[in-house]
Chain A
Amino acid sequence: MKKCLSSLFLIISTVLLNLSVYAQEKYTVSGYVKTAEAGEAQIGASIYVKESTNGTHTNVYGFYSITLPRGVYTLVASYIGTETITKTIDLTQNTKLDFELTSISGHLKEVVVKTDRAKDNVKNIEMSVNKLDIKAIRRMPALLGEVDVIKSIQLLPGVATVGEGASGFNVRGGGIDQNLVLLDEAPVYNSSHLFGFFSVFNPDAVKGVKLVKGGISSQYGGKLSSLLDVRMKEGNEKKFVTTGGIGLIFSRLAIEGPLIKDKASFIVAGRRSYIDVISKPFLKGDLKQSQFYFYDLTAKVNYKLNENNRLFLSGYFGRDVFNSGNIFGFDWGNSTATLRWNHIFNHKLFFNLTSFYSDYDYRILTGKPGVDGFKWKSSIVNYSVKPEFVFYLNPKNTIKFGAQGIYYEFTPGKATVYTVGNSNDIKLPPKFALESGIYAENEQKIGSSLSLQYGIRYSSYQYLGKGTAHHYTQSTPGKRKIFTGLQTYKERDKIQGYGNLEPRLSVKYDLNENSSIKASYNRMAQYIHLISNTTASIPLDVWTPSTNNIKPQLADQVALGYFRNFSKNEKIIETSVEVYYKKLQNQVDYIDGANLILNEYLEADLLNAKGRAYGAEFHIKKNYGKLTGWVSYTIARSERQVVELNKGLWYPNRFDKLHTMNITAAYQVNNRLELSSNFVFNSGTPATFPTNRIEVQGWIIPHNSQERRNNYRIPSYHRLDVSATLHRKQKPGRRLEGNWIFSLYNVYGRKNPFSVFFQPNKDHPQNTEAINYSIIGSVVPGITYNFKF
């Protein structure tokens, strides 16, 4: 801790020292870049100074700052798919300069990118990053015509999933619990509706997403594999706009508009599925009262107090409900609330304070409460405060520093069980933890071709009372650990503490105008773990803190990339190749037959695993012209080693896929019609197959006499999706814009395997067979109508 603090001071003092050296005859131009249509912050817009080679990007709040010597300058602001704005200033004092960028009328014209922004792939220091604008996401064919954020990022290089309908996603061989999924800075613990078929992010309220797979900034911590930063729209500042859609599964409606002119705006977006409403007439008896639906509500308000102060309040609330009348009820959901305060101390120092609340919980009810049956609840709640500073020291150095504290409350399980009127409470004790981090980072340009981003994060973690520390024997292969005793701790007592120094480094070297080499290293620490042993994670899975028995997970990743743009007349094709190697420690694995639910001695069933993942990712992207899209190919391995499993040998992870290829393409036929398609190819995922069969009590039991895990691969997965978007005719004076989306998912109806399992034949139980199980076994058509007025 001391070491870390001193390095932090070192960075800050270097900064201040620099400040005094450079602070002569230089002035700062700063301000916001917004969209002209809605007045919303334009994240990642490029600001380029014509007279020098300097440029910068707006941050997530649309803010930028550049410091230059006194003089007259031409500033060019641009973003993909917008007109370029040029402004000239005479810089004789610190100046505020805002830009408003107008879209090149959406889908109607070819999107020609004429700006520096298009070279971002090569010029930006970020590597292992994929940004998707909501417009780009909307262009891809989607299951049942429903645009989906998570499904679209699954088409990016380095991203995998165990199969259709599985929730979450795996980044560069990491688990689904290793992604930091942030919705306006607040973590979302379960990003799926209906298991994994749809994600919780309502596309009507989303501005864009950014997936960071490597070279993660020291600003972020707490998860090993990736950062998925989902930013919500702020709400149209200029006029009221209603958008929505009607689909087969659910309908959407969003309203946004100004609250107080030039001061405050809002957006409210909601969705609800209606399978239950449609199926009601077909259900009989007890099932008549069935409910199965999901809904979500996303809302955001922003308020500009004055030039230098702005507040954002955003929230999400969503639930999935399965309720079969009086037999069974099951529901789960997330709620998050974020309050942010942007403050500009001066032209160079930008401050943001985020505080959030996030909650994930599920409930199960069966039988008749009070008589026979049970009810059960589990939750994870956290509260966080996160102050962050961005200091635009000079055009060569941008310094970020800040801190974060998260307080967790885990309720692993609280149940009441009934039998013939007698009730019994089962309660697993709640658990508490505090995770905190401080960081400092500098993005530095050296000369005209070298950029560095170096930083350090110190994370510290405390497992707190009131609680108990369980003690167990050492694990032996094939057996649960034996409980040897416990120690009780009072409220706020430290039961166990951990700390980790997490260095982060990114380097970019420009080879020439069109190509660069980038490299990065990052160490990440993760203190909370998703306890899940199923192929696809289920909503019942419980998050658990690090304890005296569960150590924090650690990952070290190195990545190297070559980025090259091919351009002709400013029409650019982006290409990149990246290789990475990742070493993982303290991964959570499970003994055979582990009992993960309502088990007070859960830790006895957990094993400590080592992991490694490596691969190469190839990406080609075309952003201009009638035909746009990308091709990505990933060759990768993800493996783990557990002393107690698989005879202690390395074995592939459940989501290991050697080859992954994604092609996504959109073609603008004319002003009204757009066609798009996806093609996906994956190698089969590993599975454990038996070698022998054993007969006991008339059961034919599969048995692997070699005691190997994941010794086979299920057949490979491939799928083609197509969709057509037909826009309503545009007429002057008509406000209503509408479009129909017709889609076909899994066009050639392949029975893609989700898993292969073994069972006796139903009619001839002596005969055993292998069954290929597909979640979606045929073509799925979809139709959606979207509107905006």
Chain B
Amino acid sequence: MKLYYLSVYILFSIALIFPSCEKVIDVELDEGTSQIAVDAFITDLPGQQTIKLTNSAPYFKNSPSTAILGAQVKVINENTGEVFPFTDVQNNGNYIWSPASSPLARLNNAYSLIIIYNGDTIRSHSVLNPVPPIDSLTYEYKKGITNKLTGYFASFWGVDIPNRRDYYWIKTFKNDTLINDPVYMNFALDAAFEGWNADGVEFFEFIRKAITPFDKPYKVNDSVHVQLLSINEETYHFLFETQFQLTNSGLFAQPPANLPTNISNTNKSSAIKPVGWFVISAISQMGITIKK
């Protein structure tokens, strides 16, 4: 259930009556301890794959995170035993694997992420799940309340893979730029949400339509490119929580909480406590350009 949209709607209604407001304030925060942040979202797309390792920074640091250098990073296909090394070519914390002979991603295979840093071994695990094709992309012109809300609303069409629990993340690129504002994050369990028993059917309207930012419809000549990624249950919850924590404000906010992580240090007594996420996804994609 996307409570977020509900609360946006409700707050919008209240705003008609009461002048609520937001202002930036100064807050002194405790200094926490820096942790390794792992950003390992691997796909089956041809070409390079990147794993980013950074240090978590004090919240108000206001500059890019510092890179973790000198780590050994590899992904292992547990089914075949193949090892795919990721190397920090440019010495900037971006550990890259470039395809040589055999592809990294094989459907339904299990993968381990192994990072060796300062003598500690940091591990994670993910399975490459299948993804159905995107059947088509469509769009329609709609007049909104204001000009800003008037424009082209696009939808993607596809059918969830039947007889299994599937988790998807739908990423949309507008004019080749990823729409990355967490407000518009779009993910699905089968063709809908948790608890909806939506197995093997056409993606639900909320999912189909969510490739258009609800308050920023497309204009003529915009290109819309949609990627449907297979993920897993843990990643679905991770994305859900990420969206929640990054949009958690207002009257109906919940207690902020740290995001879950699926990355752990095998040396439990070590001071190095990793955070972040590892997942390997299959992708199907389609693009379209909006015409009059």
Contacts and interface: CB of A to CB of B under 8 A. Distances in A.
B46 interface: no
B56 interface: yes
B56 A165 contact: no
A396 to B, nearest CB: 52
Q: Is the interface of B mostly helix, strand, loop or mixed?
A: loop
Nearest to B171: A697
A701 B246 contact: yes
Interface in B1-39: 1, 3, 6-7, 9-10, 13-14, 16-27, 29-35, 37, 39
A283 B145 contact: yes
B255 A696 contact: no
Contacts of B136: none
B194 interface: yes
Contacts of B204: 372, 417, 419
Contact of B242 (A249, A279, A701, A757): A701
A703 interface: yes
Contacts of A705: 32-35, 56
Contact of A426 (B7, B16, B29, B197): B197
B144 A285 contact: yes
B258 A592 contact: yes
Contacts of A533: 254-255
B135 to A, nearest CB: 12
Interface residues of A, number: 89
B237 interface: yes
Q: From A419, A592, A593, A711, name the one whose CB has the most chain B CB atoms within 10 angstroms.
A: A419
A709 B255 contact: yes
Q: How large is the interface on B (under 10, 10 to 19, 20 to 34, 35 or more residues)?
A: 35 or more
Given A420-B202, A692-B35, A777-B19, A535 B252 contact: yes
B256 interface: yes
A597 interface: yes
A751 B259 contact: no
A124 interface: no
A699 B56 CA distance: 12
A689 interface: yes
Given A703-B259, A706-B32, A751-B23, A279 B63 contact: no
A695 interface: yes
A438 to B, nearest CB: 39
A481 to B, nearest CB: 15
A771 B39 contact: no
Q: From B33, B240, B248, B258, name the one whose CB has the most chain A CB atoms within 10 angstroms.
A: B258
B260 interface: yes
A366 B201 CA distance: 19
A768 B25 CA distance: 11
A20 to B, nearest CB: 61
Interface string B47-79: 000001010111111111100000000000000
Interface string A586-617: 00000011010111100000000000000000
B1 A755 contact: no
A768 B9 contact: no
A693 interface: yes
B182 to A, nearest CB: 6
A279 B3 CA distance: 25
Contacts of B14: 165, 194-195, 197, 775
Given A598-B1, A702-B59, A755 B253 contact: yes
Contact of B16 (A279, A330, A756): A279
B256 A773 contact: no
Nearest to B38: A696
Interface string A325-345: 000101000000000000000
B276 interface: yes
B166 to A, nearest CB: 15
Nearest to A595: B194
Interface string A272-299: 0001000100011101000010000000
A770 B25 contact: yes
B58 A691 contact: yes
Contacts of A322: 9-10, 13
A249 B17 contact: yes
B187 interface: no
Contacts of B245: 701-702
Contacts, number: 252
B22 A774 contact: yes
A268 B59 CA distance: 57
Given A599-B195, A696-B39, A766-B64, A773 B22 contact: yes
Contact of A771 (B16, B25, B30, B37): B25
Given A417-B192, A417-B196, A285 B256 contact: no
Given A324-B9, A694-B37, A419 B249 contact: no
B251 interface: yes
B277 interface: yes
Contacts of A776: 18-20
Nearest to B249: A757
B198 interface: yes
B144 to A, nearest CB: 6
Contacts of B26: 770
A703 B180 contact: no
A703 B198 contact: no
Interface in A530-550: 533-536, 538, 540
A689 B258 CA distance: 10
Given A322-B13, A766-B63, A773 B20 contact: yes
Nearest to B31: A691
Nearest to B277: A696
Given A698-B180, A701-B245, A536 B251 contact: yes
B250 interface: yes
A707 B3 CA distance: 25
Given A419-B205, A698-B180, A772-B23, A704 B246 contact: no
Contact of B59 (A600, A692, A706, A757): A692
A699 B183 CA distance: 11
Nearest to B195: A598
Contact of A699 (B24, B30, B242): B242
B57 A692 contact: yes
B232 to A, nearest CB: 16
A693 B253 contact: no
Given A600-B195, A697-B39, A689 B1 contact: no
26 contacts: A194-B14, A292-B13, A322-B10, A417-B192, A417-B204, A419-B202, A534-B254, A593-B241, A598-B195, A691-B58, A692-B33, A693-B65, A694-B276, A695-B65, A696-B37, A699-B242, A703-B59, A704-B32, A705-B32, A715-B25, A759-B249, A766-B63, A770-B25, A770-B26, A774-B22, A776-B18
Question: What 8 A-B pairs are tightest by C-beta distance, nearest first?
Answer: A691-B32, A777-B21, A705-B32, A592-B257, A372-B205, A770-B27, A757-B249, A534-B252
Interface of B: 1, 3, 6-7, 9-10, 13-14, 16-27, 29-35, 37, 39, 41, 52, 54, 56-65, 143-145, 178, 180, 182, 191-192, 194-198, 201-206, 237, 240-242, 244-246, 248-260, 275-277
Interface of A: 165-166, 194-195, 197, 249, 275, 279, 283-285, 287, 292, 322, 324, 328, 330, 364, 366-367, 372-373, 417, 419-420, 422, 424, 426, 478, 533-536, 538, 540, 592-593, 595, 597-600, 654, 687-699, 701-707, 709-712, 715, 751, 754-759, 766-778, 780
Given A692-B57, A694-B275, 6 more contacts: A195-B10, A284-B143, A284-B145, A285-B145, A695-B39, A774-B21
